Amino acid sequence: MLFLRDAHNRIIRDLRVSLTDRCNFRCFYCLPNGEPPLARKETILTFEEIEYVCDIFVSLGIEKIRLTGGEPMLRKDIEVLIGKLARLKSQISNPKLKDLALTTNGHTFPRRAENLKRAGLDRVTISLDSLRRERFKEITGVDALENVFDSIEAAKKYHLTPVKINCVLVRGRNDDEIVDFARFARENDVKMRFIEFMPLDSGHDWTRESIVSAREIREKINARFPLALKEKSRGAETAWRYEFADGAPGEIGIVAPVTEMFCGACSRIRLTADGQIRTCLFSTEEYNLRDCLRSGSNRAEIVEFIRSVVLKKEARHTINDEKFAPASRSMSFIGG
């Protein structure tokens, strides 16, 4: 079969699907003041449309689907959608979906984890930007740290594993917790992912000085808990992955899109809640798949539309260029 391949000879295997632009947190690095939500019924894709589009993407070689937001758990009856998408893993024909994941802030996750697993979810990534209650509240605008801890335990209990924890590091806000997070990974046997602060915040407060570089993260952890690189190449993955040299459980991952950009091996494409294809987190253009769907296009025409968009995928982002232009939308609209 002919897989999705861009003009730079990269095969596209990962689809990120945003289910909603809404979020019940107000993290300063994403949605500090909130933004007017998208119109609901008229604008966002229905579950049936998402299922149909994902089926097409899987037929074109997509192996991994991650459901994002906003906060995807705010999408009503998300378990129903997961059940629909999970069927793409067991269909008779090849290719098949290999991995169905969810990224969440964990606010309502604990009481729904069992049903998500039953519906067919494979694993979960949980956001956690501080281990300290008051600081967590300052960062997110919500006093919900215990909910996140409960989410981690629920994910383990219902085998939504491996459990990954995302932490966006910002200088002067939470960079003094790097070693604490490494210890947390060891003690709780989770995959800790440190992510460099990116210019995707709706408040437009990002500065280069606020970045905590991958090198600094590695050095701080290694000084306390010596690390060993797990693989010589990260392939199409976003994170350099490290294990603890003393054999302790847990893992450290470092995602460094600014200081150690990984665009050359990017295998991702994104679909926004309102049905726009984005070829890069930092794209300044979007491609309207929703209107293509709703105009009566047949499957072959939609396939051709998707292929034509993938060919427009950028060679790299331009964050480090002098004339960098911010992405056309903030992270809450794009899906991570």
Q: Is 336 annotated as a binding residue?
A: no
Residue 292 labeled ligand binder: no
* 54 belongs to an annotated ligand binding site: no
1 is in an annotated binding site: no
The reply to whether 30 sits in an annotated binding site is: yes
CB 128 within 8 A of CB 166: yes
User: Is 103 labelled a binding residue?
Assistant: yes
Structure tokens at 174: 């939470």
Query: How far is Cα 152 from Cα 162, in angstroms, rounded to an integer?
Result: 10
Query: Rg of the Cα trace of the chain?
Result: 19
CA angle (68 as vertex; 288, 310 as ends), nearest 5: 40
**Is 27 marked as a binding-site residue?**
yes
C-beta separation of 52 from 2 below 8 A:
no
- Both tokens of 326, joined, read 């911010």
Q: Among the residues of the chain, which ranges form H helices?
A: 47-59, 78-86, 113-119, 133-140, 145-157, 178-188, 214-224, 289-294, 299-310, 331-334
Q: Name the residue with tokens 């809450």.
A: 332
CA distance 82 to 5: 27
Residues pairing with 255 in the sheet? 195, 239
167 is in an annotated binding site: no
Return the C-alpha torsion angle 207, 139, 152, 113, nearest 10.
-100
Name the residue type at position 16: R
Q: Look at phi and psi of residue 44 and say left if phi exceeds 0, alpha if psi is from -120 to 50, else beta.
A: beta
- 280 belongs to an annotated ligand binding site: yes
**Binding site per annotation, positions for GTP:** 16, 66, 103, 164, 268-270
Binding residues for [4Fe-4S] cluster: 23, 27, 30, 263, 266, 280
Q: Which residues are annotated as a binding site?
A: 16, 23, 27, 29-30, 66, 70, 103, 127, 164, 198, 263, 266, 268-270, 280
Annotated binding site for S-adenosyl-L-methionine: 29, 70, 127, 198
